[in-house]
Structure 1
Amino acid sequence: MTLHLLKLCVGAESPEDLEGHVRHRLAASGETRYWHVTRMVPKRAEALTAGGSLYWIIRGAVQARQAIVGIEPFTDEEGIGRCRIRLDPSVVRTRHQPRRPFQGWRYLDVGDAPPDLSRSSDGEADLPPELSVALQELGVF
């Protein structure tokens, strides 16, 4: 059974900021792999790596996700246990889904995840984010 993670995207003002951060980290490190380091190791790693994604909360709403490629526990230089959540570097935009802030990460069931924005016939992905959110609130999307 697939499961997702939900996490605050600290420092990003938009999905474009997140995309820029990913590009910068990959270019600076020379790596082709991208990861997010967290203190705790998810206990349900098998479900997360079976098609799960890390959904990013940006400015009070889920706005983007990255596919989870792997979970790698490790010990840092100070002897503290940590976890690398390996992510696909592609950032996929999602419909806005308001969320309150919290510390750490939370599991997110597949049925509770916001849908991806796609270039479908409704044209939602082509709209400015503020207009898309307003139309969602009115029930148009």
Structure 2
Amino acid sequence: MSDPNQPGYGYPQQPGQNPYAAQGGGPQGQPAYGYPQQPPMGGAPGPYGATDPNAPFGYDRYGRPFSHKSKIVAGVLQLFIGTLGIGRFYTGHVGMGVAQLLTCGGFGFWALIDGIIFLVSDERTDSDGRILRS
């Protein structure tokens, strides 16, 4: 039986040698296979990045910034006065608001469906691409 502490059994020849270097491995201690090192949960640092303590609105679990506008307010506005496109104007989508205003909210159907989707969806964004708050 071979000794597991001997060279050739998967251990480096010398104390500082990378055992995966022949296989194209990374720095000492990282294997040559698998996925690359991922950034910390929440995204990359930077101006208002997920690790920035001065971020004004916070972040969701995927590191996307929150808007200061609420999806509940947008949904209620859209349900009650959506034929005027008010929910879309509130979120900053002026073009969609004008289209709803001109079509009376798609005769009410577009406004009703849009209001329900505002209330139940977690993926709605404002005009700057930030996720609406719950």
TM-score above 0.5, yes or no = no
- The TM tier, using the shorter chain, reads under 0.3
Using structure 2 for the length normalisation, give the TM-score.
0.20
Higher strand share: 1
Structure with higher Rg: it is 2
Query: Which of the pair has the greater relative contact order for Cα pairs under 8 Å at 6+ separation?
Result: 1
